[in-house]
Amino acid sequence: MRMYLGKYSIYCMIVFCLTSCGMGKNNQTMDTSIKSNGGDKIIRASIIQKIKELDHKPVEERIALYKKLKKESPDAYNFENEDEITMYGYGFLWADKIDEAFAIFQLIVDEFGSANAYDSLAEAYLKKGDRDVALANYEKSLAMNPDNFNAEDQIALIKYPEIKPLTPKEKFGKVYSPEQYKTDLNQLANSMLKIHPNVFKFISQKNFTDIVEKCKSQITENTKFGEFSYLCNKIIASINCAHTGMGGLYPENEMLPQELKFPIQTRWIGNQLYVIDPMNNSDELKPKDEILAINGVPVATLIDDIYQHIVAQGMVKTTKNHTFNTLSSSLIPYSLGLPEKYSITLKGAQKPIVLRKSEKAVGPYWDYLQYCEKQLCLEFLDDKNAALLTITSFNYYSWNNLQEFVDFIDQSFKEIKEKGVQNLIIDVRYNSGGSQSSAIHLLKYLVDKPIIYYSKADFPGKMGKIEGEEVIFPNDNGYNGKVLFLIDGIGNSTTGHFMSLVKVLKLGTIIGEELGSNQFCSAGSTSCRLKNTKLNYYVANNTHISTATSLPDEKGILPDHFVSQNIDDVINRKDVVKEFALGLLK
């Protein structure tokens, strides 16, 4: 007997939360504004930022400082922010600093006593090897919150260690009854309606209901879990929210048996599907061959169906392009009903070509042109009197590593000023988002007047203004030269907020393709699991909108110069966006 475990999905959800615009929490250095009894305004600071000043000291001293400040200055810090201190604890757990994590989680139990607090403490006990105490804490957490499926799974693991988790391939082929599948689809739809604050922003209620009913009608006695999972993606993708999903179709890729995968690597470019790598079909195919149909289905029809299952923000297609090109070897099989063999029709060919089955993995296929190993890179281009600032992530938070981002940006602009650089290229391609703190710190070097970052920041439990709702002042050492921005369809969440302000404030020239996001963001997430199939997913639960409200919500930020690769550029790995930017500096 085997059991389901949501470890992969839970991990995806955690990572996803960390790349949400603003996280929907008071996670900033200077956050909530309140009024004292005398009416004077008090700015509540991040308690985690404060105790992190003692990270070089024993954890006991940090906890003592927390308790001292809470007693002496309860209104000065955001002591109510359980999420922030929880993530501070997990930073230690993920770094294998078990004793520090344990101490922080014990503090959270003492201060909040919530189901999440006991769940985290149980995880620390489990890491320490104390399974009995871990079990007791997981059971307490589950009793407090019966929907805590992580606690449910961990309890089963501890009590029944002989029961092994289902492998991805076993999960794929498992069959449930039509009634179980349909009940779960109803649960999925209803939870989205209940949790998501903007569920009908980009789709009507009727169209949403029609899609749910259409998916239910496709369920049969033989529907496999993998096929069901693909259907769930269609329901989720229909609301056009980049912060609601199931792991970006990576779980579906992982569980799909190798023998069912589409056996060649393809690329969708400008409404045409090309062969990139023929793999073990090189005797019949070559790179740049154009595919017109697969198993008799025109590629345009195939792409239209697949894109209905891909999550993206608003009506942005560039995000879907990137997802398809990364996972085409698994998305094509799902769309075609998981055929056992494939035949393709090439442009100019006399007859279809039957493909051999794949012998090795053909995806995911990541095609990163710009390379910045540390996510933050600075390069000086002396022949152009220019600097290239690459930022592939804003995923830097006050509870963890925000100071790393701050130090990098401060040092970079110091060097840029010392060298007298007149041209600055800021490359935010491949940047899926992160904290507003990071984006705001960068913006301070680019604006020449005070700004406000958020026009709206609304989330459950909000107690006052957060970072970004207050006036932000330019950095005294701000940059005054020419600025070019490079963007792509992967840019999501906070990257959309950042670039929306770049756009309306006219901070520079934007180059590339439509960004995968904009000023409007339904962010944060509530983790959920379906009752029968145990499928994990997450639903956005808050709203963050930048002050660039004049821009359309359904479109990503548009570049001033549209530049993208053609098939020859892809084959030759030519970075045409960067080259175009450099050309503007001549």
Same domain, 348 and 251: yes
pLDDT grade for 22, boundaries at 50, 70 and 90: low
Enter the tokens of residue 35. Answer: 């009024």
Catalogue the E-assigned strands of 364-428: 376-381, 386-391, 423-427
pLDDT grade for 365, boundaries at 50, 70 and 90: confident
Same domain, 442 and 389: yes
Rounded Cα distance between 517 and 501, Å, is 12
Same domain, 421 and 338: no
Same domain, 279 and 339: yes
Enter the tokens of residue 158. Answer: 């501890």
Rounded Cα distance between 8 and 12, Å, is 6
**Structural domain span for residue 66:** 47-165
Q: Determine the pLDDT at residue 358.
A: 86
Same domain, 121 and 148: yes
- Domain-terminating residue out of 100, 133, 165: 165
Least confident of 32-41, 258-267, 271-280, 524-533: 32-41
Same domain, 331 and 202: yes
Four-residue CA torsion sign, 261, 263, 265, 271: negative
Q: Determine the pLDDT at residue 34.
A: 33
Taking residue 462's Cβ as centre, other Cβ atoms within 10 Å add up to 14
Enter the tokens of residue 192. Answer: 């989205």
DSSP state of 203: S
Q: Say if residue 511's pLDDT is above 60.
A: yes
Q: Say if residue 367's pLDDT is above 90.
A: no
CB 105 within 8 A of CB 117: yes
Domain count, the chain: 3
Least confident of 135-144, 373-382, 513-522: 373-382
The predicted-structure confidence for 454-493, as pLDDT tens digits, reads as follows 999 998 878 778 899 999 999 999 999 999 999 999 999 9
Which amino acid is present at 150? N
Q: Say if residue 9's pLDDT is above 60.
A: no
Alpha helices in 353-432 (DSSP H): 402-418
Q: What is the CATH number of the domain that holds 114?
A: 1.25.40.10
pLDDT grade for 113, boundaries at 50, 70 and 90: very high
Rounded Cα distance between 95 and 127, Å, is 12
Question: For residue 481, is it within any domain?
Answer: yes
Same domain, 465 and 317: no
Q: Say if residue 562's pLDDT is above 60.
A: yes
Span 33-51, average pLDDT? 58
Alpha-carbon distances, residue 435 vs 394, 467, 468, 494 (angstroms): 6, 10, 11, 7
Same domain, 507 and 358: no
- Domain-terminating residue out of 137, 165, 193: 165
Alpha-carbon distances, residue 313 vs 202, 214, 310, 470, 553 (angstroms): 9, 23, 10, 26, 9
Question: For residue 41, is it within any domain?
Answer: no
The predicted-structure confidence for 200-223, as pLDDT tens digits, reads as follows 999 999 999 999 999 999 999 999
Which amino acid is present at 403? Q
Residues 6+ apart with CB under 8 A from 130: none
Collapsing DSSP to helix, strand or coil, 396 comes out as coil
Residues 6+ apart with CB under 8 A from 143: none
Rounded Cα distance between 567 and 579, Å, is 16
Question: For residue 448, is it within any domain?
Answer: yes
CB 518 within 8 A of CB 551: yes
Q: What is the CATH number of the domain that holds 435?
A: 3.90.226.10
Span 127-154, average pLDDT? 96
Q: Whole-number mean pLDDT of the chain?
A: 91
Helix (H) or strand (E) holding 142: helix 131-144
Enter the tokens of residue 563. Answer: 């530049």
Q: Say if residue 18's pLDDT is above 50.
A: no
Rounded Cα distance between 126 and 377, Å, is 38
Same domain, 317 and 381: no
Q: Determine the pLDDT at residue 256.
A: 95
Span 158-186, average pLDDT? 95
Question: For residue 469, is it within any domain?
Answer: yes
Question: For residue 431, is it within any domain?
Answer: yes
The predicted-structure confidence for 441-458, as pLDDT tens digits, reads as follows 999 999 999 999 999 999
Q: Say if residue 253's pLDDT is above 90.
A: yes
Q: Say if residue 42's pLDDT is above 70.
A: no
Same domain, 322 and 245: yes
With CA atoms as reference, report the closest residue to 201 among 241, 246, 244, 243.
241
Q: Determine the pLDDT at residue 132.
A: 96
pLDDT grade for 2, boundaries at 50, 70 and 90: very low
Task: Tell me the pTM.
Answer: 0.89
Helix (H) or strand (E) holding 2: strand 2-3
DSSP state of 446: T
Q: Determine the pLDDT at residue 460.
A: 85
CB 521 within 8 A of CB 498: no
Q: Say if residue 26's pLDDT is above 70.
A: no
In b/e form, how buried is each residue of 131-169, taking b as 16+ CB within 10 angstroms?
Answer: beebbebbbbbbebeeebbbbbbbbbbbeeeeeebbebe
Same domain, 483 and 502: yes
For residue 129, the number of C-alpha atoms closer than 13 Å in the C-beta half-sphere is 0
Helix (H) or strand (E) holding 268: strand 265-269
State the helix-helix crossing angle for 98-111 and 82-94, rounded to 10 degrees. 160
Per the omega criterion (within 30 degrees of 0), is the bond before 364 cis?
A: yes
Same domain, 283 and 403: no
Site of tokens 């500096």: 585
Q: Determine the pLDDT at residue 196.
A: 98
Collapsing DSSP to helix, strand or coil, 149 comes out as helix
For residue 408, the number of C-alpha atoms closer than 13 Å in the C-beta half-sphere is 20
